[in-house]
Amino acid sequence: MQDFLNFNKMLTPTIIKVIFLVGSVLSVIGGLFAMVAGAQQPYGGGAAVFMGFLMILFGPFVTRVYCELLIVQFKMHEALDKLAKQNES
C-alpha cells in the first residue's frame, strides 16, 4: 500500500491493457460498420468496404503497437528505479 501511495507502483500499465482491448474491439466494430455502409451504397462503395477490411486487419495491430510503446516507457522507468535502488545500497 505504501508503494501505491508514494507512486512507486505504476497503475497505468494495467490501464493500458484495457485500452488495448477496447481499442481492438472498437476498430473491428468500426471496420464492420464501414464494410456494411459501403456494401449498401449503390455505386462507389467498394472503397469503403476495402477500407473497412483494412481497419479490421490493421486496427488491432496499430493499437497494439501504440500500447507497447507506452508500456516500454514504464518498463524503462522500472529498470531505472531498480538501478537507483542498487546504487543506494
Q: 3-55: per-residue pLDDT in tens?
A: 777 777 778 888 999 999 999 999 999 999 999 999 999 888 899 999 999 99
**Is residue 71 in some structural domain?**
yes
Contact 59, 31 (CB under 8 A): yes
pLDDT of residue 74: 85
**Is residue 9 in some structural domain?**
no
pLDDT of residue 24: 97
**Is residue 59 in some structural domain?**
yes
**Is residue 7 in some structural domain?**
no
Domain that holds residue 54: 15-84
**Is residue 3 in some structural domain?**
no
Domain count of the fold of the chain? 1
**Is residue 6 in some structural domain?**
no
Whether 62 has a pLDDT exceeding 80, the answer reads yes
**Is residue 35 in some structural domain?**
yes
Using alpha carbons only, give the angle 8, 10, 16 rounded to the nearest 5 degrees: 170
CA dihedral 29, 51, 34, 68 (to 10 degrees): 20
